[in-house]
Amino acid sequence: EPEVTQTPSHQVTQMGQEVILRCVPISNHLYFYWYRQILGQKVEFLVSFYNNEISEKSEIFDDQFSVERPDGSNFTLKIRSTKLEDSAMYFCASDRGNEQYFGPGTRLTVT
C-alpha cells in the first residue's frame, strides 16, 4: 500500500538555525500539506500546495516558513530561523481531493 514518507524522523537544532523537513507524498496525489502538532495539543494546519504553488496557508505559516516541490517526488518545509516554539511534530499529508493520508512525522526539537 502506498504511503507518505518523511525524513528525518527526529531533528534537533539550535535556535536561529535553518531546518529542512522532507516528505515524499503518495505518487498519484495532487494536493500536499504540512501540519504541526505541539506536544499535548491538537494537529494544526500550516500550508497546502497544489499545482506547484501554495494554495492556502494559516496564520502560523509566516515569513520564516517556506515550502517547495523541487522535483516530481519531494515536498519540503523549510524554517529559516528556528525558535524554541517551533518545537513540535511536523506531519506531511497528501490526497487526491478525497481522503487525506499522513506521513509518520518529523519530531523537531529546538534548543
Partner 1 sequence: RKEVEQDPGPFNVPEGATVAFNCTYSNSASQSFFWYRQDCRKEPKLLMSVYSSGNEDGRFTAQLNRASQYISLLIRDSKLSDSATYLCVARDFGAGSYQLTFGKGTKLSVIP
Residue numbers of the site for partner 1 (CB under 8 A)?
31, 33, 35, 41-45, 48, 50-51, 53, 55-56, 89, 91, 93, 95, 97, 99-105, 107
- State the distance between the two ends of the chain, measured CA to CA, in whole angstroms: 37
Nearer to partner 1, 25 or 103 (CB): 103
Q: Do you find a cis peptide bond into 2, omega within 30 degrees of 0?
A: no
User: Which residues make Cβ contacts (< 8 Å) with residue 75, sequence separation at least 6?
Assistant: 22, 23, 24, 25, 32, 49, 67, 68, 69, 92, 94
Minimum CB separation from partner 1 for residue 42, in Å?
4
Nearer to partner 1, 14 or 51 (CB): 51
Nearer to partner 1, 3 or 18 (CB): 3
